[in-house]
Structure formats: structure tokens, C-alpha cells
Structure 1
Amino acid sequence: MRRMPKESNESSKEEQIKIDKDGMEVAGDLTEQSEEMIGKRIRRHTPSPHRLTPQSSPPRFVSVEELMETAKGVTNMALAHEIVMNSAFQVKAYEPKEGSLEKRVKEIMHKAFWDCLESQLTGDPPSYTHAVILVGDIKETLLSFLLPGQSRLRGQIEEALDLSLIKQEAENGALDISKVAQFIIDMMGTVCAPCRDEDVKQLREITDIVPLFKSIFAVLDKMKFDMANFAVSSLRPHLLQQSVEYERKKFQEFLEKQPNALDFTKKWLQDTADIVTGIEGEGGAACSPNSAQLPRTVHNHAYLRLLKWDHDAESFPETFLMDQSRFQEMQQELEQLALVATVLLIVYNSAGEAISGLPGLMERLKKTIKILLAEMYTPSFKADDTFAAIGEKLCLELKGCLSQHGFSPFSADRESTLKGQIVAVKSADNPIRKVIDSRIQSYLLGFLESSFHKSAPALPGGLAPISKELEEIAVKLGRLVTFNKLVYSPFYQKILQDILKQGESVDV
């Protein structure tokens, strides 16, 4: 990420991150929420007389200090987890919301500061009190970018930005502030990442001192985040090696402070075991309670249930809280894919061999459906209008395609029937949609089981149009499940052993 002279030491880059915590936010799932969200989650699992929780260990009251220390540990765990699981994880600048009081106050304070600096520099005689302070801040920032082995650059900065000498020159009216600014720009060009070359080049075109210093600080802020994100990318392989033990240890510490912190995980596994063993009579064939594969079967079905979760009505298992948003995203993607596959199955069954095998048609129809379903999870989405529009668009596309290849167009009755079948797909109880959804679940279950049997599952009928997207989601799900098992397997084994009444330890 950064351009470094030959004397730089690559192995210690991750040690050089020095960023003001109040000046940044974490991108991805932790954006604007990490400590606040973790605090809410801890309070959520703290015994309260105002809400019902599953049966658990007796409530243990903890001090505020213990709770804050626990929250800090869980926050660190969530941050490490996000870096490992999210390849697009980045640190980015925090900006108050437009129109907010915070943003207004920030703008007023910044304007007052720079107005004061301009007033000092344009005075007669000019005053450099604020300017020297700014140079000191810039000096510390430049030094923070250097690696331990860059002694030559460190010496150049210390010599050129010697604050005591600069103060003496200012007091004697001999300070050339433009020369100081030019050195700063040159040094920024030496240590910045290649992506900042254009920003540094633009600094050289600014002649007024106050706008120049404002721009210097703006570019330095960008360089801080470049450095932070480079450190994150360098740190990721090391975190990957250590994260399993680290997360397990942090969760164990949390569990010791909050003994009921696995209540919803236990309920999640218990409900799944009831379904799988046929106690509730739902979810497929019953599984023999004495089966050696029962624990693994229950566990895999439990993971699938997370893709059908009612996030408004049910509490998510504690062991997956850091990945809840990822499961919600996959859940929405799968629902959209099921609708796409259902509509295409209806269209191709209706049109028959007339359109079978026509090059490019499947992709065009698929693209049309996906575009119209793009706003599916927004408040403005109207299912009736959307599926009616899908029916109209697809029938229009089919009419042109049939005509182009010398086939007779659909009759009015046949076209009306097809549109009605497409509109009916909006219902979750639509039988064709339910079949497609069941096949998707079977494929994902087979994918989870294939990690044990070492063989990829066959793609069920009707899913060919969405095979690529489905495989991507399956891989993403498999990665989440594998990592989660590595971290929490000791907890799962004990819970499943108690649920399934097995005398020996279970393997999940």
C-alpha cells in the first residue's frame, strides 16, 4: 500500500498504526455500531425482570467495571472477527451526518481555527504561534508514518522541522513558512501510497499559506487511513492463524461474566433437535436418536435454520451474533434467487421446446427479473405491481423471441395464464416456489455435509439458472460455518450432548 525506501522493514508495518480513535470508523458490519452494538448485546443477555428468557443458570450480578471490561473484550473480538471474515474490511474516516448538530459544530470550530490562523499570518507583524503548533502536529504525523529502520528520513524530518529553531526564526522575523511547507510536501510525497501522488501534486499548486495548510492536513488524514488499512491487510494472515483460539478465549471470558450468554444458542439447537428427531413432526423425516451422525445432522440443520430466521421475532444465537448481518444478507439473496428460479421454471414449462436452448434468452429473462426485484427489501417495494410488471416484461420478451425464430406467438388466453402464474409466485405458499425453495435448502444442506464426505452435492432440478449464484452463497456459508465450528465446537459439543442425552462426547 505504501511506497517505502529500501531501508524500510516490511515485517513491522503492522506495528506502525497510530490513529486517533475518535477520527475513524470501522467499515463493514461494525460501521457506526461496534461498541454501542456490543453494549446492547451484552445488556440483552443480562438477566432482567422485564423480559422472559430461556431457563438458564441463576442470574449473577456484575459490577459496572466488570461489564465494561467484558464489553471491551467482546468489542476487540468482534473487530478481529470482522477483519478475518470480511476481505473488504477497511478503516475509514468518520463524518457526522449532514444537517446534524455535530457536523455544524465541527464546521464552526474548524472555520474559527483557520480564520484565526489567517488573522495571525496577515497581521503586521505576522504571528506564527498557531503555525508553529500546526508544524509540530505535522511533524509528529510524518514521524508516525516511518518504520523503525528509516533512520535517515527520521533525521531529515527532525532537522528540517526543529520546532525550537522554527520558533527562534519566527521571533526574529526570519521564518520562511513557505519553505517549511515545501519540505512537508516533499516528505509527504516520499512516504505516501501511490494512490496519493495526485493529491500531493495538487498541494504544490496551492500558493496561499492557509488553504495550503488546510489541504496538507486533509491529505495527511487520508494517508493515516492508507496506513491503517495497509496494517489491517498485513495483519489479516496473522489474525487468521490466531483468531480461533482468541475468539474462543474471549467468549469464554464473557461467558464467565454472563453465565446465561448461551441461552439462545441452546434454544436454537434444542428446537432443531426436536425438528430433526421428529418430536415436532416438521422439517422432514425423523432421525434415529441412536444414530452416530445425529449430532452432526442436528448441527447442519441448525445452520440452515439461520437462513430462514425471523430476525424480528426470534433472538439470534449468541455464537453467531457477529455474523448475523451476513446471514440476513444471504437470506435475502436466497429468497430472490428462489423467486428468479421459480419464475423461469414457470416460463420454460409454459413455452416448452419453442424457447428451449435458445442462446442468451435465459440470461436476458433472468436479468429482467433480478432488476425488477432489486428493490425487494425496501419500504417502497410493492409485490403486486412488481410481479405484474415481471409478467408483462417476460411475455413481451417471449413474443419477440418466438416471432424471431418462426414460432407462433402465445394466444391471449395462454399469455394471460402465464402472467397469472407469475403473479402467484409472490405468495410464500405458492407450490412451485416452495418446491424450488426446498431444493435450494437440500443443496445447501448437501454442501455442508460434503465438507465431511469430501464430495460436492449434485444440483437439484430447476436450479440450473441460478447455479453460479447459489454456489457462491454455499461457499460463503461453508466458510462461516467452518470458522464458527472451529471457535465454538467445545460449547456446541456440551450443549448437544445434554440435548441428545449421549453418554459420550459428540462430534460436530
Structure 2
Amino acid sequence: MSNQRAEASSDAPADLPCLERIESPTGSPPTTSLSSLMELENCVSNLSLAHEIVVNGDFCFEPRSDPNNRVKEIVHRAFWDSLQEELNRQPPNYNHAVVLLQEVKSVLGSLLLPGHIRLRAQLDEVLDMELIRQQVEHNALDLHRLAEFIIHTMASLCAPVRDPEVRALQDLEGPVELLRGIFHVLGLMKTDMINFTIQSLRPHLMQQAVQYERAKFQQILDKQPASLENTTAWLTAAASEEASAFTAPPDCPITDNQGILSPTGVLNRAYMRLLRWDPQDQKYPETVLMDRARVDLLSQRLQLLVLEASVLLLTCTLLQGSVPFPEGFVGKLRQSVTALLEGSHTREADLKTDLLGVGEKVLQEVTEAVSTHGARALPQESQDLLRGQISDLWRHNNPVRTLIGERVQGFLLAVLQGGPAKRSPELSFPLGLLSAELAELGTAFGRIIHFNRAVFGPFYAPILRKLLLLPGEAETGEDSR
């Protein structure tokens, strides 16, 4: 799930009620009740779901929609057609309608908070099921009056985003149409309540999920002691890379007693390596496997930003002083570059072709800018140079692409280290134009890493101890958490 949403209902349509006991052959299996969805113990017991809730700040449930399932659609329509036939009889048959009203009352009751004392009393008074059954016996049931109360109650309980749907219910006239609409909107309100609860309890879920995931991973290690083999290789490579970043003598070991490396620094370097991971390399660290798809997506976004910034830097550097840029030129140029590069950075074969198109578009934008200001046209030699420089960005070792990539990596590393992103020196031109996107990417990456560090810190500590300290030296492992 990413930006991710989960389906909060069973296979039954959203506007089909849960009929526990109904004789009609056109009925439907019960849908998942709110209580079963809201049991956080069940959520936390599901490793993937608990992890998604904690790591993905945008996680939410959505009602399931399955428009391709014709069987469910037929059953769905048959249920409401059957109810319509029952209410059209003389006298009307309200048996199933009473069951639906009972379920409406149950759902509304589940949406009430402890402070809704007066509303709960009104619900019990108006939807008094014993009184409703007596009214049915005397053919005195007023479904429209009850529906008005139900809609009014829904309006007082629903989130503001549901106000239009609730107001639309007031325009429905037929009792079946009303009930069907009510169940549809109640389904949306149940989902809203679930998502509200998840958001409210996310901080409390954090520690619970940390302990749960850590315990589950320990069980895996108990059965398969070699389950940290890839993680060890990953941290070892990061330690070597971190050591090379220091100006220490070549023969200075990474376990030097002067402590030139810290567990935190090596671990942050290891996390940064995930953003440059070869997609074909299957030796992904076991401790980050659950987030691999999420990190890969961030890596793709990162590469797109690097390409955008590289094109802007090449263009503006070549044209600086020779072509007057009108106001908004760079912003418009960036929008064009983004549109042309979207998606291509994940397929290197296509990137070559796409960059040729980017070069032509850039030159077109430049020509229009020059024409607008009546300046001299860009020499053909300069046009060919810019076109060639942009097309050469497909190479991973392209100097400009490498430079921008290092600056972005430095920015993200500062985010992991807790440095304020706004004061990061790496956000000079052209990265300043991408500051909002970089901040968003850094926040998403930081959330993943923070949780991973909290869960697996105790597993990283002994590996880092062996990598960074002399034999027998004490190490608490706290730096790796």
C-alpha cells in the first residue's frame, strides 16, 4: 500500500446492509462489522498492516469497490428489488425493513462517542425497536419520519467531508431508495471513524508495533540464525564508505581506537545506500525488506528530481548572461521538463529518447524567451552543445548528474542526522527550486528510517560493534538505535 489505502469492507457492496438472519433467498452474506474492523489488537497482530499504519502517514482505509464482479452486482440489485416488492404489497410487509432499521440503529450507536449521552438517549427513544414492531402490527409505521431522524443524526455525526452525501439523502423520496442511500453513507462514515481512530492512536501504536516487529524478527532469527547475512554485508559496505569519507591515512582501520566512525554515522550511511540500490541486486538487507517497495519508490522520485535539477543547471549555466530570462521562465521550463521525464527515469532505455525530447523542448522554450525580448538568437553551436549535454544525462556517471546527486544525498543525510532542512547548504540553485519536493521526500524517508532504527537497533548494535570497535571494547549499542 503506498500513499496507501486499504479496503475496509468485505466483498459486499457498500450500500448493502449486514443481515444476520434473513429468510429471503435474495439476501446477502453479512458485511464486516465496525467492531471487527476497529479491533486494534487485530491490526497490530497483522505485521504488514501494523507496519503500514505506523510508517505510512497517509495510510487510510477505503471502502472496497469491485465494479467488475457481476455476480455481486446482481445479488445487490436483487436484494433491494425484493425489499421494494415487500413494501409495495397491500398491506406492506415491513419484516425486512425492521431488520434494516435495527442495523441502522446499531451502526449509529457504534459511531457515538462516550460524550454523546443525549444523542444516544434520542436514538433509543426514536428507534425503539419494540415500539416500531408494534407500529408494524398496526400498519402505522412511518418510514419517512424515521429516515428524517436518521439523516439528522448522521449529519451531526459525520465528518465535514461527508456533508454533501448526507444532504443528498434529503432529496430521496422512496423508502427503499432512502434506506439504500443511508446504508451507503453509513459505510463511508464507518470508514471515516476507522481512519480517525488510526490517526489518533498512531503514536500509541508506534511502541506496540516496534515491540511486535522486533519479537517476530527474533523468532525468525531463532529458527534461521543466518537471517542477518545480507544486513551484515550492507552495514560492512556502509562502514567502508563512511571510512573513505574521512581524510584519514589509507592504512587507518575503521576500528581505529580514536573512534573516527560512529555507529550512527555508519547506519545513516547504510540507509542512504538504499536510495542507490541496484534493482537487480537481490541481497537486500533483511531488516528493511518490508519497506523495499516504499524505498524504491522514493529512489525513483529522487532520480527524477536529480534529472530535473541537472537539466535546469545545464540550461541556466549555458545561457547565463547571454539570454535575458523573462519572469517565470525557469518555473515554466521546469514544468515542461517534469512532464517529459515523468516515468522515464525508471527505464534507462527510454531515458535516452526522452532526454532528446527534453533537449528539443528546452531549446523551444529558450527560443520563445529570446523572441519575446527581441534578443539575438542563441548560436547554433550553443544549441548543439546544450542539446548534447542534456542527452548525455542518461549516463549515471555524468558529471553534472553526479554533482546534483551528491548534493541531494547530502541534503537527505542532513535530514537523517537531524539537521534543519531549511538551512541545508546543499539547497543552492537549482535545488532551491525543488525545495518543497525534497522536503516531502526527506520527511517520507525519515519516517521509514526512524521506525526501522527503533525496531532493529538492537540487531544492528552487535554487528556495528564488531565493525567499529577493537576486540573486547565495551559498547552499549545505543548509538545505533
Query: TM-score, structure 1 length as denominator?
Result: 0.75
Aligned-partner Cα distance in 2 for 1:314–1:74: 29
Cα 1:450/1:235, change in 2 over 3 Å: closer
Residue of structure 1 in register with 2:217 after alignment: 255
Q: Residue 238 of structure 2 contacts residue 269 of structure 2 at CA under 8 Å; is this kept in 1?
A: yes
Aligned-partner SS, 1:341: helix
* 1:440-480 CA distance string (max 9 Å, x none): 334433444464x9995422776445451334433443444
Aligned pair partner of 1:246 in 198, 202, 208: 208
Count of residues paired in the alignment: 432
Cα 1:450/1:167, change in 2 over 3 Å: closer
Indicate whether 1:459 and 2:434 are aligned. no
Residue of structure 2 in register with 1:44 after alignment: none
Indicate whether 1:94 and 2:58 are aligned. no
Aligned partner letter, 1:91? F
Aligned partner letter, 1:90? C
Aligned-partner SS, 1:28: coil
Cα 1:487/1:357, change in 2 over 3 Å: farther
Residues 381-420 of structure 1 mapped to structure 2, 5 A cutoff: 382-420=350-388
Aligned pair partner of 2:143 in 168, 177, 195: 177
Q: Quote how far apart the aligned CAs of 1:359 are.
A: 4.1
Q: Residue 348 of structure 1 contacts residue 355 of structure 1 at CA under 8 Å; is this kept in 2?
A: no
Aligned pair partner of 2:181 in 212, 215, 226: 215
Residue of structure 1 in register with 2:344 after alignment: 376
Residue of structure 2 in register with 1:20 after alignment: none
Aligned-partner Cα distance in 1 for 2:189–2:427: 50
Aligned-partner SS, 2:304: helix
Q: Quote how far apart the aligned CAs of 1:176 are.
A: 2.6
Cα 1:426/1:178, change in 2 over 3 Å: same
Residue of structure 2 in register with 1:314 after alignment: 282
Q: Quote how far apart the aligned CAs of 1:153 are.
A: 2.2
Residues 224-373 of structure 1 mapped to structure 2, 5 A cutoff: 224-239=190-205, 243=206, 245-259=207-221, 260=224, 261-277=227-243, 288-290=254-256, 291-294=258-261, 295-355=263-323, 359-373=327-341
Aligned partner letter, 2:78? A
Q: Which runs of 5+ in 2 are unaligned?
A: 9-40, 245-249
Indicate whether 1:82 and 2:52 are aligned. yes
Aligned-partner Cα distance in 1 for 2:290–2:443: 18
Indicate whether 1:426 and 2:388 are aligned. no
Cα 1:477/1:497, change in 2 over 3 Å: same
Aligned partner letter, 1:272? A
Cα 1:416/1:256, change in 2 over 3 Å: closer
**Identity, % of aligned positions:** 35
Aligned-partner Cα distance in 2 for 1:485–1:339: 30
* 1:245-304 CA distance string (max 9 Å, x none): 3233212321332114544333321332344456xxxxx998633152423332121011
Q: Quote how far apart the aligned CAs of 1:235 are.
A: 2.1
Aligned pair partner of 1:504 in 462, 474, 478: 474
Q: Quote how far apart the aligned CAs of 1:123 are.
A: 1.8
Cα 1:197/1:417, change in 2 over 3 Å: closer
Aligned-partner Cα distance in 1 for 2:155–2:5: 32
Aligned partner letter, 2:214? Q
Aligned-partner Cα distance in 2 for 1:160–1:220: 18
Residue of structure 1 in register with 2:17 after alignment: none
Aligned-partner SS, 1:309: coil
Aligned partner letter, 2:120? R
Cα 1:116/1:486, change in 2 over 3 Å: same
Aligned partner letter, 2:426? L
Aligned-partner Cα distance in 1 for 2:411–2:184: 51
Aligned-partner Cα distance in 2 for 1:28–1:209: 39
Q: Quote how far apart the aligned CAs of 1:144 are.
A: 1.0
Aligned-partner SS, 1:214: helix
Aligned-partner Cα distance in 2 for 1:456–1:287: 33
Q: Quote how far apart the aligned CAs of 1:380 are.
A: 12
Cα 1:449/1:149, change in 2 over 3 Å: closer
Aligned-partner SS, 1:91: strand
Cα 1:487/1:184, change in 2 over 3 Å: same
Aligned partner letter, 1:458? P
Indicate whether 1:133 and 2:95 are aligned. no
Aligned-partner SS, 2:321: helix
Residue of structure 2 in register with 1:474 after alignment: 442
Q: Residue 269 of structure 1 contacts residue 302 of structure 1 at CA under 8 Å; is this kept in 2?
A: yes
* 1:35-90 CA distance string (max 9 Å, x none): xxxxxxxxxxxxxxxxxxxxxxxxxxxxxxxxxxxx97875454444344433332
Aligned-partner Cα distance in 2 for 1:460–1:121: 68
Aligned-partner Cα distance in 1 for 2:324–2:285: 45
CA RMSD of aligned residues (A): 3.3
Query: TM-score, structure 2 length as denominator?
Result: 0.79
After alignment, is 192-201 or 489-498 more displaced? 192-201
Aligned-partner SS, 1:31: strand
Cα 1:134/1:443, change in 2 over 3 Å: closer
Q: Quote how far apart the aligned CAs of 1:127 are.
A: 1.2
Q: Quote how far apart the aligned CAs of 1:338 are.
A: 1.4
Aligned-partner Cα distance in 1 for 2:62–2:310: 41
Q: Which runs of 5+ in 1 are unaligned?
A: 1-25, 34-70, 279-283
Aligned partner letter, 1:92? E
Aligned-partner SS, 1:416: helix
Q: Quote how far apart the aligned CAs of 1:405 are.
A: 4.1
Q: Residue 323 of structure 2 contacts residue 375 of structure 2 at CA under 8 Å; is this kept in 1?
A: no
Aligned-partner Cα distance in 2 for 1:199–1:464: 43
Aligned partner letter, 2:172? I
Aligned-partner SS, 1:425: helix
Cα 1:481/1:296, change in 2 over 3 Å: same
Q: Quote how far apart the aligned CAs of 1:362 are.
A: 2.4
Q: Residue 350 of structure 1 contacts residue 418 of structure 1 at CA under 8 Å; is this kept in 2?
A: yes
Cα 1:297/1:173, change in 2 over 3 Å: closer
Aligned-partner SS, 2:275: helix
Q: Residue 254 of structure 2 contacts residue 260 of structure 2 at CA under 8 Å; is this kept in 1?
A: no
